[in-house]
A and B are shown apart, each in its own frame.
Chain A
Amino acid sequence: MTAFHSHLPVLQVIVPMLTAPLVILLNQKRLPWIVATAASLCAFAIAVTLAMSVMAGQTIQYSLGAWPAPWGIELAVDAFSALMLLVVTGASSVALLAGAQSLDKDIEHHRQPLFYAAWLLALSGLAGILVTADAFNIFVFMEISSLASYVLISGGPDKRALPAVFKYLVMGTIGATFYLIGVGLIYMMTGTLNLADMAFRIEDVADQTPILLAAGFITIGLALKAAIFPLHIWLPNAYTYAPNMVTVFLAACATKVAIYVLLRFDFFVFQPNLVGHDFQFTFFLLPLSLLAILVGSSVAIFEPKLKRLMAWSSVAQIGYITLGASLLSVSGTTASVLHIFNHSLAKGALFLVMACLGMRIAQLRIDNIAGIAQKMPWTMAAFVLAGLSLIGVPGTAGFISKWYLITASFESGAMGIALVVIILISSLMAVVYIWRIVESAYFRQPEEDLVITEAPIPLLLMTWVVVLMNVYFGFAPGVPIELATGAAELLHGQTP
């Protein structure tokens, strides 16, 4: 391993972070976009390199400032964080590559440098959460990424984004502060902030009230950030009124990073040490996951606004992710981690299609896209394929994680059959809401003659890249499955 190689975990964070102030200084027409995209691609390349090292069996650890672990801040990349880094940096890169025209439409030229700076800060915050192994560091990065994403969401022309983002800000801050209280209480009892050290030391004090309190605060706080039902109410409006490209980026990864922290904390620190915590975790998460799946899908079926429909579907999909984790088995967690990856692909593609439509239509409602498949055949074909992946049709990425989820449910005994039934029902509900859009776009006659053309080429091209990735990972899911299995084995304390 070369010297440069060993610095990759920290570069993952500081490349976008240091590019952000540079971007503000640039005011030539396309320059901010070019630099931001380059930084994002660079972060993606680092994530790919890290993932390759992890898959080759290396454990990547990095001591910031060369201070050794429990005293200094440690960065660590394992299978779970490597997979998540791919998702985050990939989503950011795709959205930026695709989004130049779409963002021109939503953000005035003179505000673009600041907007791209906020984008890079959000990226570096999310990447920071994933590489760090320090509980307080996670809080700081979580707030960096949240503050930046509030700016991104409210940056668009739609004034309804403002109350939405205010709600997000209030709920997000409460979530982060709850997490902070939890970390503080643990620090009080163990005197450490390093996650591995914490997991080791918490054993001696595991039955004390502050630790139990901390477990509660941390779980609720992160559930707020992750939009786990019923703490999801900030999500639909925030996603709906954000600029289209911001929705692509954030919908693909922001809530999932919070789930990452939740799983990591719960499985590493609490479950091995706290008596009865695993039962409480399931008892808390399983019913909420099922409600999220059913309520999210039901609301999506009756929602006339396209982006809001997709956002409610995200609430349901977060339910699948937490459902897998709440089964507390290696196969369940594998399904959960795999679904994080596959859902990012499917929902990323669907929101890219929304951005394509948004380039040509002012109001994205089901009635307004009647007959649009005649004018934008490529866009709508992409929608159909991505929709199939969301539903979980064989041959798409969505099928792989649904299959894992169903297998894991069957393993969990009698209750499993009920779970499988619910998963199947909600998949049928997904068929309904995807079909409503397909029906409107393909089989209804446009009310007047639509004078619109196909979406801009770069946007359409990137949409298809993601759609084809949905198909590719449906047939060749080796890499994500390997990383997800590795992640699940790590979380359950088995050496892979």
Chain B
Amino acid sequence: MGFFQKPFGNEPILTKDDLKQVVKKKKGPRAADWKSTLLRLWKIVDEQRALLIVVLLLVMISSILALVGPYLIGQMIDNYVMHGELTGLGKGIVLLIGINVLLAVSLFLQNYWMIGIAQQTIYRLRTSVFTHFQRLPIAFFDRRQHGELMSRMTNDIEAVNSTLNSSFIQVFSSVLTLGGTIIIMLSLSPLLTVLTMTIIPIMFWAMRWITRRTAPLFKEQQAAIGALNGMIEETISGQRIVKAFSQEERMKVEFREKSLRLRRTGFWAQTYSGYIPKVMNFLNNMSFTIVAGIGGMLALYGHVSIGVIVIFTEYARQFTRPLNDLANQFNTVLSAIAGAERVFALLDEQPEVETATTQKHHLLGQVAFKHVYFKYEQEEETYTLKNVNFKVEPGQTVALVGATGAGKTTILQLIARFYEVNKGEVLFDGVNVQQMDRQSLRSQMAFVLQDPFLFEASVRENIRYGRLDASDEEIEGAAKRANAHDFIMKLKDGYNTVLAADGREISQGQKQLLSIARALIADPKILLLDEATSSIDTVTEMAIQEALDTLMQGRTSFVIAHRLNTVHNADMVLVMHKGELVEAGPQQKLIESGGLYAQMLHSSSHHLEE
């Protein structure tokens, strides 16, 4: 028996205690979970009701035809074949040919349309997850591995996909066939029918035993694939580091661990679900035997004709086949549920807080923070921002300075409303940001991020990202002002060069130039520059400074820069220290007051004089 518990060294994943818990849970919300998951899936499928009804009708037709065929053959054997009567048989055969043509056509059509329905459902599921992604708060993405999220979109939806393709028709036709077969069997011989049905309770018991194990295993399996996907994405994206630190071997070991987890869950899930057809087969054979043995005896005493027995055995198998199919489908449905649950879990994530109004608010550009407290994780004890207060008038340029980790980027992210404040208010023109429509707000802002990101698209498209209706001339104009034009022209296809996924054709500094061009084209009311020029050499920086200055004119601008010369023409300097705003005011005033800013300035020039 040892082999059955730890075959090939595969330790069982479900212990007896685990199973007990599963059973307990099953009585509670578990069953409801399944139901609601299936129901939600059904809602998407149901969007194509008209086509679905057609498919169901076709399934009905083909199920009936499939039942009529063998019945007719049975009749023909009894009536014509046994007596060698060819004319009757000829008519029967013509009828059967007709039936078979109809059967083939209806089978083809139902599958043809069902594929359409299934793929449309999958497509809807995918796009709704993606659209939902766009509405989720940044904080959601901070906590999750990209690869894991990607797995939900591919591997989990794939599990739903393969089920939808086959199961729907299967389940429906199985139920129909089952019903039909029982009726015909009853009409042939009620006694034999009852005998055949004796296997049903055994079947239910067996199914319960198996699904109690497979359901949690499938879930675990999808989770294991997700974790594996997460790791793959990270290691391949970070391949340069892996190589630089020659950690390939360790990565391989780590991969094996995750891969092994998948193998173990996969093994058990497959083994248990592999039982289903075997049990069904066994029960199938049993019923065959029952019908053959007892039917034979009945025939002996003349209760039934031989023809009836022949046909009945066929029906007995027809009876178990849909049951068998149902059982098999049940299992794939379980794996689909495991996948669907994970997909719906994403859809259930709370989207960014919606505001009551969708009215477009035309910003004048005044920005104020009032007693703002903020932390990234609710569990954290300390706040990243503590009681931050400031007010910036329209058109002013604000420089944020302070040590790394002081909270400068956080302030910009709050202005862009990537996160919601914990306490206090962020105000635009005196209106709380939470009272404003996020879309309208962001449409009037441009953000140049610390890590420039370029899409796998042409240079032109990457700049156009700032404003989708920008003309080619405008794009070139922006690129020229951002000092990017020259290097772009040196690329293989100029503005049409498609940047590779890792953007290796261009340097980090050039990426920053492109993202500045992107901001230049956006024409925002409020401009947020987070270390926008950190990787750009200072000579180039000087060249684009003018462009940035023009850009900042008439717009409220927030600039983070460590090179203090970027700061010099700011109207206001905000000095951050450990999440607190310690000084604020025009540069000259801060220098005179001799506070932290003056010290910082001093230390950098002091260094210079060394």
A binds B: no
